[in-house]
A and B are shown apart, each in its own frame.
Chain A
Amino acid sequence: MSVFPATAAAKSAGRRAPGSAARPSSRGQRAAYGFIAPLGIGFAIFYFWPMIQTFYFSFTEFGPFGGHTWTGTDNYARVLRDVTVWQALGNTLIYCGIGLLALPLAIVIAALLNRRGLRGVSVYRALYFVPFVTLPVAVGLVWNWLYNGDFGLLNEILGWFGVDRHYWVSDPSTAVFAIGAVMVWSTTGYYLIIFMAGIKSIPQDYYEAAEIDGAGPLRRFFTITLPLLSPTLFFASVICMIQSLQTFDLIYIMMGEKNPAVGDTQSIVGLFYKWAFMENAQGAAAALAFLLMLLIAGLTYLQFRLQRKWVHYG
């Protein structure tokens, strides 16, 4: 990246910097703490303290007039027994699975855009990125309208090919996928930019050599682009997974409360929001939030373990 040239070189140079910096003066130390203090105080108030508190909340029950009663692991037991939690977990994993489809899609587009001599690359890139920049609530409303069962454009277009009208977002069997498709649609441009930056760092000579050896475009994609891009792909898949496990906005706006498919589309964060701020079940909500963090941490760990099998570090 042009913004951060020679980061690694500067880092190692900083480590062995000789002279006055080797032994920090107490005045220099105080200055450093001064630089960090504003952020540190903010983190302490809004991040570290809340983390501890949520952990405490997850073992308590909120009284109707405030105040907490210690209930031990009751909240966790309740969460694990609750059917809606398992349903939300299933939905969340489906969103995660569908959301990951943005990655192969983005790689293919990035590879197409990497074609030698192709014009208009920056125009394409700009257009593909627009959905990601757009307010998710607005995106949800637009797609609700496209999906509309009576007057939606999607049914109209599918009708040309003889597909029957369908109520995409209120039918429990299609609602999750309808929302998931919008997730893919709105994040593909983001991953496209990440992959384009990754592809750019692959030396062009590899492609030229392969071409002289008679390798076709497909062969070049699978033997050069994909392996050399695998570290980027790994990173993108971690980000994508963490993001889609916390999905909320699109579901919230696309479903509304009267929709018959609400339960079939609710994500874990959606359930958390409902418990914490609408049903006054903060203790259980806190426990749910902790289980979500464990899920995220567990799946991330799993990805790091699996990367040894497929990520190719040149």
Chain B
Amino acid sequence: MADTTETTGARPVHAEAAVPRLSRRRLNTGSLATHLVLSLGALVMVFPFLWQALTALKSLAEVSRVPPTFLPENWNWSSFDQVFTALPFREMLTNSALATAGRTAGQLVFCSLAAYAFARMRFRGRDLLFGLFLSVLMVPSSLLVLPQYDIIQQFGLLNSTPALFLPGMFSAFGTFLLRQAFLALPKELEEAARIDGAGSFRIFWSIMLPLIRPALAALAVITAMTAWNDLLWPLIVNTDPEAMPISAGLTSLKGQYETNYPVMMAGSLIASLPMLLVYVFLQRHFVQSVAFSGSKG
């Protein structure tokens, strides 16, 4: 995604000529003001996280001081140790990672298969079924969780990792997103492959799927983020600390350390860091998946 501003900056030569020099200087002070406003906004967005990290490194005595210190007097790492002894934080992080991986892998497989059929194959009841599948998008999750809990219980899966990702493996949004991507591919691809004698699955797997890689990546990052951040469902199915993901784990940390903010900041920092790292490396895909979800209308 190239930024418009980067390309348009050099383009309108004729417009530049029409604008007198005086207003070009005004343009510069204007752009300075713009930067000022935008930086202030960026500070508001990012500063809470800096404060979180600084608090995590202070002692409990230091954070209870008025006025507060900015940098820690002594860099104190003990809060991080405390997080790991207070709760099975290591297991919780593993649970979150497994739940995220399971949900993402499941959606990529199930949604891409169905999306391919909806986009590229003809069969009776296709549009009706697609409409039915899409209707899932409209249903609030609170309408589903009571029976979903019963199902997980009947499967004997309460307090297990599969409980965390099972319902989330099936997604209407993912199917819709991948279907759009498949629709955009030219028709000739399949015809040529079919003449060469390839079967439906072969065409799907080795020709079509690789071509929608950007859409798959977009779906993967947005699903991973949703899975990592999920709270309501894990609170319901996995009440055993050893089986909780990190999001639910943090709520019990809060219960234990109601006023110990260095420990809570350390815990929340550890819990949010993995997804932030993924974001730093795959930023482009995050932006694409969000921009796509906005162009749905």
Contact = CB atoms under 8 A, between A and B. Distances in A.
Nearest to B144: A50
A249 B231 contact: yes
Given A31-B200, A32-B121, A249-B231, A2 B225 contact: no
Interface string B156-195: 0000000000110110100100001101111100000010
A11 interface: yes
A273 B19 contact: no
A290 B278 CA distance: 37
B187 to A, nearest CB: 6
Contacts of B131: none
B269 to A, nearest CB: 7
A53 B246 contact: no
Q: Tell me the interface secondary structure of chain A in the complex.
A: helix
A313 to B, nearest CB: 11
B286 interface: yes
A151 B63 contact: yes
Name which of A133, A143, A150, A246 has the most chain B CB atoms within 10 A of its CB.
A133
Interface residues of B, number: 123
Contact of B143 (A13, A24, A51): A51
Contacts of B275: 133-135
Interface of A: 1-7, 10-11, 13-14, 17, 20-21, 24, 28-29, 31-33, 35-36, 38-40, 42-43, 45-47, 49-51, 53-54, 57, 109, 112-118, 120-122, 124-131, 133-139, 141-143, 145-146, 148, 150-151, 153, 156, 185, 188-190, 193-200, 204, 208, 211-212, 217, 231-232, 234-236, 238-239, 245-246, 248-249, 252-253, 256, 269, 272-273, 276-277, 282, 285-286, 288-290, 292-293, 296-297
A156 B184 CA distance: 55
Given A35-B117, A235-B296, A277-B236, A43 B133 contact: yes
Interface in B117-156: 117-124, 126, 129, 133, 136, 138-148, 150-151
Q: Across chains A and B, which 7 residue pairs bring their CB atoms closest together, nearest first?
A: A194-B294, A42-B170, A235-B297, A50-B147, A138-B268, A35-B117, A197-B291
Given A1-B292, A35-B116, A256-B254, A133 B286 contact: yes
Nearest to B168: A46
A133 to B, nearest CB: 5
Given A135-B246, A142-B51, A235-B296, A113 B167 contact: no
B74 interface: no
B45 A3 contact: no
Contacts of A248: 231-232
Nearest to A269: B142
